[in-house]
Amino acid sequence: MHTIARIADVSLRTPEGKVILDQISWELSPGQRWAILGPNGAGKTTLLSILSAERHPSTGSVEVLGETFGRTDLRMLRTRIARVDPSLRMLDWLHGCEAVLTGLRNTTWPHWDDWGDAEYQRARDLMASIGAGQFSEEEVGHLSHGERQRIRLARALIKDPELLLLDEPTTGLDFPAREALLQSLDSLTTSRPDLPTITVSHHLEELPATTSHVMLLRGGSILDAGEIQCVLTSENVSECFGFPITVFEMDGRWGARAAAGWTD
């Protein structure tokens, strides 16, 4: 089994010398679905920006999709990676399927001359596969935040990425919208079983049921990383977030609450 990503002794410091990531080593294999959990300031988004080939570490080695940082064109590498970010802007007047097709060139503006019947049908089929088919002919400006998130997911998938990164994808969603998006993410295990994913989140409740592995990040260091059943213990999560937490699991979904008797 080849490795999708490998980072070794990676650290990142600001110009002022503040340590954001501290000697992290970790590997991602095909088909694994990782979550990175930790409190604010743990370094989650910074680590994701390195894995998405958007920045270099200060020290250490990084290999993503067989390419080693410092020896490859990161611009070309980024074309093989998709990132779902709630802040991604989409033009309000585009239909859903048109917004999805902008992902082919990773642009905001549409390229209608590139799109024929085959491309439109591909976008519609993809949207249907993640439960967003009903939005294909709706203008983006008429969609809710949660519906737009499913458009962003389809947009990321349209270019057949080899690695999918999700940066707090359920931020700002109400309960029904969150559950709809998580169902869309879970459906990828059927439609794209070999696609590795990494989801950054603060909350256990926001993890897809198909999450296979978890990294707990605190203060720029890995507290624990491995299979979800082994890592998501009350003891580990309490240490990661810095106060007593009871962790529970039901039907593949995870949750957490303050441990009984805890007071601020």
Q: Tell me: the pLDDT tens digits for 215-255?
A: 999 999 999 999 999 999 999 999 999 989 999 999 889 99
Distance CA 3, CA 64 (A): 8
Give the other-Cβ count within 10 Å of 200's Cβ.
22
Q: Report pTM.
A: 0.91
Q: Are residues 169 and 197 in the same domain?
A: yes
Tell me what pLDDT residue 225 has: 97
Q: Is the pLDDT of residue 205 over 50?
A: yes
- AA identity, residue 234: S
> From residue 141, how far is each of 138, 160, 174 by CA, in Å?
8, 26, 18
Residue 1 pLDDT: 47
Domains held by the chain: number: 2
Quick one: 41 and 69 in the same domain?
yes
Whether residues 5 and 76 share a domain: the answer is: yes
Domain residues for the domain of 42 are 1-80+162-177+190-264
Taking only the tens place, the pLDDT of each residue in 146-203 is 899 999 999 999 999 999 999 999 888 889 989 998 999 999 888 899 999 999 998 8
Dihedral of the alpha carbons of 140, 49, 224, 221, in degrees to the nearest 10: -140
Which residues are within 8 A (CB) of 72 and not within 5 positions of it... i.e. 6 or more apart? none
Q: Identify the pLDDT of residue 108.
A: 87
pLDDT of 121 reads 93
Q: Taking a C-beta distance cutoff of 8 angstroms, is the pair 58, 13 a contact?
A: yes
Q: Do 57 and 150 lie in a common domain?
A: no
CA separation, residue 97 to residues 88, 124, 240 (Å): 16, 6, 41
**Do 99 and 91 form a contact (C-beta atoms < 8 A)?**
yes
Q: At 64, is the pLDDT very low, low, confident or very high (cuts 50, 70, 90)? A: very high
Flag whether 45 is in a domain.
yes
| Same structural domain, 170 and 153 | no
- The proportion of the chain whose per-residue pLDDT surpasses 70, expressed as a percent, equals 98
Rounded mean pLDDT, 80-103: 91
Please give the pLDDT value at position 263. 57
Whether residue 75 sits in one domain with residue 2: yes
**Do 69 and 115 belong to one domain?**
no
User: Judging by beta carbons within 10 Å of its beta carbon (0-12, 13-18, 19+), is residue 191 exposed, middle or buried?
Assistant: exposed
Other residues' Cβ atoms within 10 Å of the Cβ of residue 226: 13
- In a shared domain, residues 24 and 149: no
The verdict on residue 207 lying in a domain is yes
Residue 242 resides in a domain: yes
Same domain, 1 and 129: no
What CATH number should be reported for the domain holding residue 234?
A: 3.40.50.300
Alpha-carbon gap, residue 176 to 96, rounded angstroms: 20
Mean pLDDT, to the nearest integer, of 115-124? Answer: 91
What per-residue confidence (pLDDT) applies to 6?
97
